[in-house]
Amino acid sequence: MKTKLLFTIFTIFTLTVGLYGGYRFGKSNLKQGSEQVSQENFPFLAKRIFVESPNDIIINFISLRDELRFYVVGRNEKIGIYFEYLPNGTSIGINEKEDFFRASLIKVPVVMRAYKLIEEGKLRKDDVLVIERKHIDPTYGELWKAGEGSRLTVLEAVRLIITKSDNTAYEALNDKIGNSILQEELGQERSVTNVYDFLDIPRKELGVNQYITPKNFSSILKSLYFSAYLSYEYSNEILDFMTTSEYTQSLVEPLPKEIRVAHKFGVYSLDKEGFNVHSDCGIIYFPQRPYILCVMVNTPDSDIAEGLIREISEKVYKFVQRANKGG
Protein backbone atom coordinates (compact mmCIF):
# COMPACT_ATOMS: atom_id res chain seq x y z
CA MET A 1 0.00 0.00 0.00
CA LYS A 2 2.82 2.32 0.92
CA THR A 3 4.64 1.47 -2.33
CA LYS A 4 1.50 2.22 -4.35
CA LEU A 5 1.05 5.59 -2.60
CA LEU A 6 4.66 6.56 -3.29
CA PHE A 7 4.25 5.56 -6.92
CA THR A 8 1.13 7.71 -7.21
CA ILE A 9 2.86 10.76 -5.70
CA PHE A 10 5.84 10.28 -8.00
CA THR A 11 3.55 10.05 -11.03
CA ILE A 12 1.68 13.24 -10.13
CA PHE A 13 4.95 15.07 -9.54
CA THR A 14 6.34 13.90 -12.89
CA LEU A 15 3.21 14.98 -14.78
CA THR A 16 3.19 18.37 -13.06
CA VAL A 17 6.83 19.04 -13.92
CA GLY A 18 6.28 17.85 -17.46
CA LEU A 19 3.24 20.03 -18.02
CA TYR A 20 4.94 23.09 -16.52
CA GLY A 21 8.06 22.49 -18.56
CA GLY A 22 5.99 22.06 -21.70
CA TYR A 23 4.11 25.27 -20.96
CA ARG A 24 7.36 27.17 -20.46
CA PHE A 25 8.86 25.66 -23.60
CA GLY A 26 5.78 26.41 -25.67
CA LYS A 27 5.54 29.92 -24.29
CA SER A 28 9.21 30.51 -25.04
CA ASN A 29 8.81 29.29 -28.59
CA LEU A 30 5.70 31.40 -29.08
CA LYS A 31 7.49 34.46 -27.78
CA GLN A 32 10.52 33.84 -29.97
CA GLY A 33 8.36 33.18 -33.01
CA SER A 34 6.32 36.31 -32.35
CA GLU A 35 9.44 38.44 -32.12
CA GLN A 36 10.63 36.98 -35.41
CA VAL A 37 7.34 37.84 -37.09
CA SER A 38 7.57 41.38 -35.73
CA GLN A 39 11.09 41.97 -36.93
CA GLU A 40 10.82 40.34 -40.33
CA ASN A 41 7.27 41.09 -41.47
CA PHE A 42 6.13 44.14 -39.53
CA PRO A 43 9.22 46.26 -38.79
CA PHE A 44 7.30 49.50 -38.35
CA LEU A 45 4.86 48.26 -35.70
CA ALA A 46 5.35 48.34 -31.94
CA LYS A 47 7.37 45.43 -30.59
CA ARG A 48 5.15 45.39 -27.51
CA ILE A 49 2.38 44.01 -29.74
CA PHE A 50 4.38 40.80 -30.11
CA VAL A 51 6.48 40.60 -26.96
CA GLU A 52 5.19 40.21 -23.40
CA SER A 53 7.99 42.14 -21.70
CA PRO A 54 9.34 44.90 -23.96
CA ASN A 55 12.79 46.20 -23.17
CA ASP A 56 11.66 49.56 -21.79
CA ILE A 57 14.35 52.08 -21.03
CA ILE A 58 13.72 54.39 -18.09
CA ILE A 59 14.62 57.95 -18.98
CA ASN A 60 14.05 61.14 -17.01
CA PHE A 61 12.54 63.64 -19.47
CA ILE A 62 12.26 66.64 -17.14
CA SER A 63 15.25 68.44 -18.66
CA LEU A 64 13.91 67.91 -22.19
CA ARG A 65 10.53 69.28 -21.14
CA ASP A 66 12.18 72.36 -19.64
CA GLU A 67 14.37 72.86 -22.70
CA LEU A 68 11.41 72.72 -25.10
CA ARG A 69 9.30 75.04 -22.95
CA PHE A 70 12.12 77.56 -22.76
CA TYR A 71 12.54 77.33 -26.54
CA VAL A 72 8.86 78.13 -27.21
CA VAL A 73 8.41 80.91 -24.63
CA GLY A 74 8.57 84.41 -26.01
CA ARG A 75 8.35 83.52 -29.69
CA ASN A 76 5.91 85.38 -31.90
CA GLU A 77 4.82 82.19 -33.63
CA LYS A 78 2.24 79.91 -32.07
CA ILE A 79 4.00 76.54 -31.64
CA GLY A 80 2.45 73.26 -30.57
CA ILE A 81 4.59 70.26 -29.60
CA TYR A 82 3.70 66.74 -28.57
CA PHE A 83 6.41 64.19 -27.79
CA GLU A 84 5.85 60.62 -26.65
CA TYR A 85 8.48 58.04 -25.79
CA LEU A 86 6.93 54.88 -27.14
CA PRO A 87 8.64 52.20 -24.98
CA ASN A 88 6.85 53.42 -21.86
CA GLY A 89 4.39 56.13 -22.92
CA THR A 90 6.08 59.08 -21.20
CA SER A 91 4.97 62.28 -22.93
CA ILE A 92 5.74 66.00 -23.09
CA GLY A 93 3.25 68.54 -24.34
CA ILE A 94 3.58 72.24 -25.05
CA ASN A 95 0.40 73.76 -26.44
CA GLU A 96 -0.36 70.17 -27.40
CA LYS A 97 -4.12 70.71 -27.01
CA GLU A 98 -4.21 73.90 -29.07
CA ASP A 99 -5.98 73.77 -32.43
CA PHE A 100 -4.04 74.15 -35.67
CA PHE A 101 -5.47 73.99 -39.19
CA ARG A 102 -5.25 70.35 -40.24
CA ALA A 103 -4.06 70.91 -43.84
CA SER A 104 -2.62 67.78 -45.49
CA LEU A 105 -2.40 65.88 -42.21
CA ILE A 106 -6.01 64.86 -42.93
CA LYS A 107 -4.76 62.64 -45.73
CA VAL A 108 -3.51 60.01 -43.28
CA PRO A 109 -6.91 59.15 -41.73
CA VAL A 110 -8.47 59.10 -45.22
CA VAL A 111 -5.89 56.53 -46.32
CA MET A 112 -6.55 54.57 -43.13
CA ARG A 113 -10.27 54.57 -43.93
CA ALA A 114 -9.52 53.28 -47.42
CA TYR A 115 -7.55 50.38 -45.95
CA LYS A 116 -10.37 49.62 -43.52
CA LEU A 117 -12.75 49.36 -46.48
CA ILE A 118 -10.26 47.03 -48.16
CA GLU A 119 -10.29 44.87 -45.02
CA GLU A 120 -14.10 44.83 -45.18
CA GLY A 121 -14.09 43.80 -48.84
CA LYS A 122 -15.75 47.02 -50.00
CA LEU A 123 -12.69 48.32 -51.84
CA ARG A 124 -9.73 46.71 -53.59
CA LYS A 125 -6.18 47.91 -54.03
CA ASP A 126 -6.44 47.29 -57.77
CA ASP A 127 -9.73 49.17 -58.19
CA VAL A 128 -9.33 51.88 -60.82
CA LEU A 129 -9.91 55.55 -60.07
CA VAL A 130 -10.74 57.91 -62.93
CA ILE A 131 -9.58 61.51 -62.56
CA GLU A 132 -12.42 63.96 -63.05
CA ARG A 133 -12.23 67.70 -63.49
CA LYS A 134 -13.32 68.27 -59.87
CA HIS A 135 -10.37 66.17 -58.62
CA ILE A 136 -7.63 68.19 -60.30
CA ASP A 137 -5.60 70.27 -57.85
CA PRO A 138 -2.08 71.46 -58.81
CA THR A 139 -1.18 72.71 -55.32
CA TYR A 140 0.78 69.57 -54.36
CA GLY A 141 1.90 66.66 -56.50
CA GLU A 142 2.04 66.16 -60.24
CA LEU A 143 -0.85 63.81 -61.01
CA TRP A 144 -2.90 66.80 -62.14
CA LYS A 145 -0.64 67.01 -65.21
CA ALA A 146 -2.06 63.70 -66.45
CA GLY A 147 -5.34 65.51 -66.94
CA GLU A 148 -9.01 64.66 -66.84
CA GLY A 149 -9.80 61.04 -67.72
CA SER A 150 -6.45 59.65 -66.55
CA ARG A 151 -6.57 56.47 -64.48
CA LEU A 152 -4.73 54.95 -61.55
CA THR A 153 -5.34 52.21 -59.01
CA VAL A 154 -6.28 52.72 -55.38
CA LEU A 155 -2.82 51.53 -54.31
CA GLU A 156 -1.13 53.96 -56.71
CA ALA A 157 -3.27 56.77 -55.33
CA VAL A 158 -2.36 55.85 -51.74
CA ARG A 159 1.34 55.85 -52.57
CA LEU A 160 1.10 59.30 -54.19
CA ILE A 161 -0.96 60.68 -51.30
CA ILE A 162 1.50 59.54 -48.65
CA THR A 163 4.85 59.99 -50.38
CA LYS A 164 4.10 63.15 -52.40
CA SER A 165 1.03 64.52 -50.60
CA ASP A 166 -0.61 64.60 -54.04
CA ASN A 167 -3.85 66.56 -53.84
CA THR A 168 -5.35 65.20 -57.07
CA ALA A 169 -4.83 61.60 -55.97
CA TYR A 170 -6.31 62.48 -52.57
CA GLU A 171 -9.42 64.06 -54.09
CA ALA A 172 -9.99 61.06 -56.35
CA LEU A 173 -9.60 58.52 -53.53
CA ASN A 174 -11.66 60.52 -51.06
CA ASP A 175 -14.41 60.93 -53.65
CA LYS A 176 -14.41 57.18 -54.32
CA ILE A 177 -14.71 56.42 -50.60
CA GLY A 178 -17.37 59.03 -49.98
CA ASN A 179 -19.67 58.89 -52.98
CA SER A 180 -19.29 55.35 -54.28
CA ILE A 181 -18.94 53.39 -51.04
CA LEU A 182 -20.28 55.35 -48.09
CA GLN A 183 -22.95 57.30 -49.99
CA GLU A 184 -22.21 60.35 -47.88
CA GLU A 185 -23.63 63.79 -48.34
CA LEU A 186 -21.35 66.69 -49.07
CA GLY A 187 -19.60 67.91 -45.94
CA GLN A 188 -20.11 64.81 -43.81
CA GLU A 189 -16.55 63.49 -44.32
CA ARG A 190 -17.48 60.04 -43.09
CA SER A 191 -14.18 58.74 -44.44
CA VAL A 192 -12.52 60.71 -41.63
CA THR A 193 -15.17 60.66 -38.89
CA ASN A 194 -14.93 56.88 -38.69
CA VAL A 195 -11.25 57.13 -37.74
CA TYR A 196 -11.80 60.10 -35.44
CA ASP A 197 -14.61 58.36 -33.58
CA PHE A 198 -12.59 55.16 -33.18
CA LEU A 199 -9.76 57.17 -31.61
CA ASP A 200 -12.04 59.49 -29.58
CA ILE A 201 -10.74 62.57 -31.38
CA PRO A 202 -13.17 65.44 -30.73
CA ARG A 203 -15.11 66.74 -33.74
CA LYS A 204 -18.23 68.66 -34.59
CA GLU A 205 -21.53 66.81 -34.38
CA LEU A 206 -21.89 67.10 -38.15
CA GLY A 207 -18.71 66.69 -40.12
CA VAL A 208 -15.13 67.06 -38.93
CA ASN A 209 -13.35 70.06 -37.46
CA GLN A 210 -11.02 71.87 -39.82
CA TYR A 211 -8.49 71.90 -37.00
CA ILE A 212 -6.57 69.29 -35.06
CA THR A 213 -4.19 69.38 -32.09
CA PRO A 214 -0.66 67.96 -31.99
CA LYS A 215 -1.74 65.44 -29.35
CA ASN A 216 -4.77 64.26 -31.33
CA PHE A 217 -2.81 63.77 -34.51
CA SER A 218 -0.27 61.77 -32.53
CA SER A 219 -3.14 59.45 -31.61
CA ILE A 220 -3.56 58.72 -35.31
CA LEU A 221 0.12 57.82 -35.58
CA LYS A 222 -0.08 55.63 -32.48
CA SER A 223 -3.09 53.77 -33.85
CA LEU A 224 -0.88 52.72 -36.77
CA TYR A 225 2.13 51.94 -34.59
CA PHE A 226 0.11 49.74 -32.25
CA SER A 227 -2.08 48.40 -35.05
CA ALA A 228 -5.22 49.46 -33.20
CA TYR A 229 -7.46 50.45 -36.13
CA LEU A 230 -6.10 48.27 -38.94
CA SER A 231 -4.50 44.86 -39.28
CA TYR A 232 -0.77 44.36 -38.76
CA GLU A 233 -0.25 44.13 -42.52
CA TYR A 234 -2.06 47.33 -43.45
CA SER A 235 -0.80 49.38 -40.50
CA ASN A 236 2.74 48.40 -41.40
CA GLU A 237 2.20 49.14 -45.10
CA ILE A 238 1.00 52.69 -44.44
CA LEU A 239 3.91 53.37 -42.08
CA ASP A 240 6.30 51.94 -44.67
CA PHE A 241 4.95 54.41 -47.26
CA MET A 242 5.33 57.22 -44.74
CA THR A 243 9.05 56.47 -44.34
CA THR A 244 9.50 57.24 -48.05
CA SER A 245 7.93 60.70 -47.98
CA GLU A 246 9.74 63.06 -50.33
CA TYR A 247 9.33 65.94 -47.89
CA THR A 248 12.41 66.00 -45.66
CA GLN A 249 12.89 69.71 -44.94
CA SER A 250 11.72 69.81 -41.33
CA LEU A 251 11.38 66.85 -38.97
CA VAL A 252 13.69 64.50 -40.90
CA GLU A 253 16.51 66.77 -42.04
CA PRO A 254 18.53 66.96 -38.78
CA LEU A 255 18.41 63.21 -38.18
CA PRO A 256 21.04 60.69 -39.33
CA LYS A 257 20.21 59.07 -42.68
CA GLU A 258 19.98 55.61 -41.14
CA ILE A 259 17.12 56.62 -38.82
CA ARG A 260 13.77 55.72 -40.38
CA VAL A 261 10.98 58.27 -39.93
CA ALA A 262 7.33 57.57 -40.75
CA HIS A 263 5.87 61.06 -41.00
CA LYS A 264 3.36 63.36 -42.68
CA PHE A 265 3.67 67.09 -43.22
CA GLY A 266 0.94 69.65 -43.64
CA VAL A 267 1.30 73.14 -45.07
CA TYR A 268 -1.45 75.67 -45.66
CA SER A 269 -1.31 79.45 -46.05
CA LEU A 270 -4.16 81.90 -46.46
CA ASP A 271 -4.69 85.51 -45.47
CA LYS A 272 -6.54 84.39 -42.37
CA GLU A 273 -4.04 84.05 -39.54
CA GLY A 274 -5.54 80.83 -38.23
CA PHE A 275 -4.99 79.08 -41.56
CA ASN A 276 -1.26 79.74 -41.73
CA VAL A 277 0.19 76.44 -40.58
CA HIS A 278 3.27 74.31 -41.12
CA SER A 279 3.17 70.91 -39.44
CA ASP A 280 5.32 67.82 -39.43
CA CYS A 281 4.44 64.79 -37.31
CA GLY A 282 6.01 61.37 -37.28
CA ILE A 283 7.37 58.28 -35.60
CA ILE A 284 11.14 58.35 -35.28
CA TYR A 285 12.50 54.79 -35.21
CA PHE A 286 15.52 55.40 -33.02
CA PRO A 287 16.89 51.88 -32.27
CA GLN A 288 15.39 50.60 -28.99
CA ARG A 289 14.10 54.13 -28.31
CA PRO A 290 11.34 54.99 -30.82
CA TYR A 291 9.34 58.13 -30.19
CA ILE A 292 6.60 60.30 -31.67
CA LEU A 293 7.20 63.97 -32.33
CA CYS A 294 4.50 66.28 -33.67
CA VAL A 295 5.24 69.97 -34.21
CA MET A 296 2.78 72.55 -35.53
CA VAL A 297 3.64 76.18 -36.21
CA ASN A 298 1.32 79.07 -37.07
CA THR A 299 3.17 81.41 -39.40
CA PRO A 300 2.93 82.40 -43.08
CA ASP A 301 6.74 82.20 -43.38
CA SER A 302 7.80 78.74 -44.57
CA ASP A 303 11.47 79.31 -43.83
CA ILE A 304 10.79 80.28 -40.23
CA ALA A 305 8.42 77.35 -39.69
CA GLU A 306 10.75 74.79 -41.21
CA GLY A 307 13.63 76.16 -39.17
CA LEU A 308 11.66 75.91 -35.92
CA ILE A 309 10.53 72.35 -36.59
CA ARG A 310 14.05 71.37 -37.62
CA GLU A 311 15.57 72.78 -34.43
CA ILE A 312 12.97 71.14 -32.20
CA SER A 313 13.50 67.80 -33.93
CA GLU A 314 17.25 68.08 -33.46
CA LYS A 315 16.92 68.93 -29.77
CA VAL A 316 14.67 65.94 -29.12
CA TYR A 317 16.86 63.54 -31.07
CA LYS A 318 20.05 64.60 -29.30
CA PHE A 319 18.36 64.22 -25.91
CA VAL A 320 17.11 60.70 -26.68
CA GLN A 321 20.52 59.80 -28.11
CA ARG A 322 22.52 60.83 -25.06
CA ALA A 323 20.02 59.90 -22.33
CA ASN A 324 21.46 57.61 -19.65
CA LYS A 325 24.87 57.72 -21.30
CA GLY A 326 26.40 60.33 -19.06
CA GLY A 327 26.72 62.80 -21.91
Tens of pLDDT, residue by residue over 155-200, are 999 999 999 999 999 999 998 988 766 665 544 566 677 788 888 8
| Closest to 209 (Cα-Cα) out of 198, 197, 226, 218 | 197
Bridge partners for 85 per DSSP: 90, 291
Rounded distance between C-alpha atoms, residue 305 and residue 70, angstroms = 17
Would 60-102+211-327 and 103-209 be classified into the same CATH topology?
A: yes
Question: For the residues of 148-208, what is the DSSP string, one character each?
Answer: TT-EEEHHHHHHHHHHH--HHHHHHHHHIIIIIII-PPTT--HHHHHHHHHTT----SSS-
pLDDT number for residue 209? 76
What is the arithmetic mean of pLDDT over 226-254?
Answer: 95
Query: How does residue 202 score in pLDDT terms, banded at 50, 70 and 90?
Result: confident
Sign of the Cα pseudo-torsion (217, 257, 244, 276, in order): positive
**Is 245's pLDDT higher than 70?**
yes
- Give the pLDDT score at 10: 43
* Band of pLDDT at residue 62, cut at 50, 70 and 90: very high
Query: How confident is the model over 100-105, as a mean pLDDT?
Result: 92
**pLDDT for res 36:** 54
Report the first-to-last Cα separation within the chain, whole angstroms. 72
Confidence of residue 26 (pLDDT cuts 50, 70, 90): very low
**Hey, how many other C-beta atoms are within 10 angstroms of the C-beta on 221?**
24
Mean pLDDT computed over 92-104: 94
Indicate the range of 83-92, 95-104, 234-243, 316-325 predicted with least confidence. 316-325
CATH of domain 103-209: 3.40.710.10
Q: Count the Cβ atoms, other than its own, within 10 Å of residue 215.
A: 20
Q: With 80 as the cut, is the pLDDT of residue 291 above it?
A: yes
Average confidence (pLDDT) over 105-109: 94
pLDDT of the residue at 81: 98
Q: How confident is the model at residue 46 (pLDDT cuts 50, 70, 90)?
A: confident
Q: Which residues of 300-321 are buried (b: 16+ CB within 10 A; e: fewer)?
A: eeeeebbebbbebbebbbebbe
The chain-wide mean pLDDT, for the chain, equals 83
pLDDT for res 198: 83
Which pLDDT value is given to residue 183?
A: 66
CATH code of the domain made up of 60-102+211-327: 3.40.710.10
Q: What confidence tier does 41 reach under pLDDT thresholds 50, 70, 90? A: confident
Q: In whole angstroms, give the CA distance from residue 47 to residue 39.
A: 8
- Listed as own residue / partner, the contacts of 241-247 with beta carbons closer than 8 Å and 24 or more positions apart are 241/158, 241/159, 241/162, 241/163, 242/108, 242/162, 242/282, 243/44, 244/162, 244/163, 245/162, 245/163, 245/165, 246/163, 246/164, 247/165, 247/280
| Interatomic CA distance for residues 175 and 178, integer angstroms | 5
Does the pLDDT of residue 234 top 60, yes or no? Answer: yes
Question: Residue 15 above 60 pLDDT?
Answer: no
What pLDDT, on a 0 to 100 scale, did the predictor assign at position 272? 59
Instruction: pLDDT band for 104, please (50, 70, 90 cuts).
Output: very high
Task: Give yes or no for residue 266 having a pLDDT over 60.
Answer: yes
Residue 3 has pLDDT above 70, yes or no: no
Where exactly are the structural domains of the chain?
A: 60-102+211-327, 103-209
pLDDT above 60: residue 218: yes
| Whole-number pLDDT of residue 205 | 67
Query: Cβ(294)–Cβ(217) under 8 Å?
Result: yes
Q: Angle at the Cα of 203 (from 92 to 95), degrees rounded to 5? A: 25
